[in-house]
Amino acid sequence: MRRLVLGQRLANRGRLRNDFYDDMGWMGLALLRAGRRHEAEGLWRVIRAGWNDHHGGGIPWRVQQPTYKNTPANGPAAILAARLGEAGWAARIVDWMESVLIDTDSGDVHDGIDRLGDGRLEPTWRFSYDYGVALGAELAVGRRPVAERIAQAGIARCAPDGVLGDEDGGDGAMFKGIFARYLALLAVQPGRDVVLATARAFWEHRDDLGRFGPDPRQRPDGPVELTAMLSGVMTIEAAARLARGGA
């Protein structure tokens, strides 16, 4: 963790902050899990300052696009706020997500709004990490009924046959691990079965070096991206949590 923090500071002129609010949210959560609360609080202050009134509130995806608000930026921000004891801010962010990005009746989750500068919701993007971080945010503020509907909708879209599918390489290869993590925190059916089945598929299709590919049901052939490997590890970690009774 010390090396990760040092690398971030070297890459960002001595600071942990960067131009992407979703990245800062993830880093803040990682710092908090690693016991580096002071640094997590510093990032939270930067994220909180990004809130603006475009589309009624919300945190942008990045500094240069203040009107583009998305689930990947706001979900982790709400989770981080809740874990830092900022309950009011966590609820404020989730309230905004429910008013713009989350259909609380169906559980469907939009990726974002105003990506193209046209003020519209993203019409086609529905990724497993959208459902994952929205689910995590709802859990963080104690709204389990909405969280359960999000889990159901996300499973129907991203795991119709009971296993989280391939979402391509790059960042997309990591998405299913994020959804699996928060499905395990919810710890209800059918999410439990999806996490366990996806973890089993990853394990059964690992290569000779124990590496995972972007598709849990396909043995990787050749180089493996870190995002794919991380997704497999996170999913197996989530399955282990469920096997221990949600500990």
Q: Check residue 232 and give its pLDDT.
A: 97
Q: Check residue 247 and give its pLDDT.
A: 44
Q: Check residue 123 and give its pLDDT.
A: 82
**Domain contains 169:** yes
**Domain contains 230:** yes
- Give the whole-angstrom CA distance, residue 16 versus residue 43: 7
Residue 243, pLDDT above cutoff 80: yes
**DSSP H helical segments within 34-85, as ranges?**
37-49, 71-83
- Give the whole-angstrom CA distance, residue 44 versus residue 76: 10
In this predicted model, what pLDDT tens digit does every residue of 179-190 receive, in sequence order? 999 999 999 999
**Domain contains 233:** yes
Residues 6+ apart with CB under 8 A from 151: 107, 131, 135, 183, 186, 188, 191
Q: Which domain holds residue 242?
A: 159-247
In this predicted model, what pLDDT tens digit does every residue of 116-139 receive, in sequence order? 999 999 888 889 999 999 999 999
**pTM, full prediction:** 0.94
- Across the range 59-71, mean pLDDT stands at 97
**Domain contains 202:** yes
In this predicted model, what pLDDT tens digit does every residue of 136-154 receive, in sequence order? 999 999 999 999 999 999 9
118-135 as b/e: b if 16+ CB within 10 A: eeeebeeebbbbbbbbbb
Residues 6+ apart with CB under 8 A from 114: 54, 55, 67, 68, 69, 120
**Domain contains 82:** no
**Domain contains 116:** no
* Mean pLDDT (the chain, rounded): 95
- Across the range 83-92, mean pLDDT stands at 98
Higher pLDDT, residue 13 or 57: 57
**Domain contains 197:** yes
Least confident residue range of 8-12, 94-98, 208-212: 8-12
In this predicted model, what pLDDT tens digit does every residue of 2-34 receive, in sequence order? 999 999 999 988 999 999 999 999 999 999 999
**Domain contains 27:** no
- Across the range 36-41, mean pLDDT stands at 96
Structurally, the chain folds into a number of domains equal to 1
Q: Check residue 19 and give its pLDDT.
A: 94
Q: Cα–Cα distances in Å, from 222 out to 8, 13, 171?
A: 29, 36, 18
Pair 146, 199: CB distance under 8 Å = no
Q: What is the DSSP string of 113-140?
A: E-TTSSSPBPSS---HHHHHHHHHHHHH
Pair 47, 24: CB distance under 8 Å = yes
3-state DSSP call for residue 246?
Answer: coil
Q: Check residue 125 and give its pLDDT.
A: 86
Task: Give residue 246's pLDDT band: very low, low, confident or very high (50, 70, 90).
Answer: low
DSSP letter assigned to residue 218: S
